[in-house]
Amino acid sequence: MTKQGDNIWTATGDGDMARVMRLVEADKALVNAKDENGYTPLHAAASWKHAKLLEFLIQNGGDVNITDNDGDTPLHICEDLECAQLLLDNGANPEAENDEGLSPVHTTLENEATEVTELICAKLNIPVPVLQEVQEAEQVNIRDDNMSESKLEDLSNWIMQQVDDKGETDEEALRAMVTKYIMQNLRNSTDSNADDTVAATVATSTDIVSQDNDSISGQPSQSK
């Protein structure tokens, strides 16, 4: 039985090969075991730059594409060139996206693990991105997502209000009002992608209109 504090994650983080080997020998399933954050021994080895330990874990069934609770694979948090090479050589996906939609290229770049970023980019045969450009792109995406979600919720409420107050069920009339509503509310954005956001939101909103009309009339929408 394992003593309290004598666990596979701390043993790997400490770089204690003997202790890790003993724990794995007692229970092979520990190689891919997750703690409360989804953190695994492979994450620990990659993060703490323990290449020999990482190699041992992989040889004993370690999943190089296993994810933690944030969707990060060991490659996402790797800051050591040798560890990154081991992961890639054993099938780590260099294009895997975490829950924020970021690949190992982006996360290693943000962690200033330049050599690892360059290795991954070479594997993908793509140029190494500029950190500032990546961060700016992420901020634009976050801003667009937040704006779209907020506006679509407002829009849904507005549509239902129009139906309740005016008894408006004509699809074309509602589409026209929806478009006007979106244009008025989103054109104020200073973001350079405002036009794209408007177009995408209008397209989504027309689906909402069709669904609302179907609900009101009891008739299925007609595909065009």
Q: What is the pLDDT of residues 78-123, one digit of tens each?
A: 999 999 999 999 999 999 999 999 999 999 999 999 999 999 999 9
Q: What residue has token string 């190992």?
A: 104
* Residue 224: pLDDT over 50: no
* Residue 31: pLDDT over 50: yes
Closest CA to 83 of 112, 120, 110: 120
CA 162 to chain centre: 36
Residue 77 to residue 85: CA distance in whole angstroms = 13
Residues 6+ apart with CB under 8 A from 179: 202, 205
Contact 162, 180 (CB under 8 A): no
* Residue 59: pLDDT over 60: yes
Which structural domains are found in the chain, ordered by start? 8-129 (1.25.40.20), 132-217 (no CATH)
* Whether the model pTM is above 0.85: no
* Residue 126: pLDDT over 80: yes
Q: What 3-state DSSP class applies to 182? A: helix
* Residue 151: pLDDT over 80: no
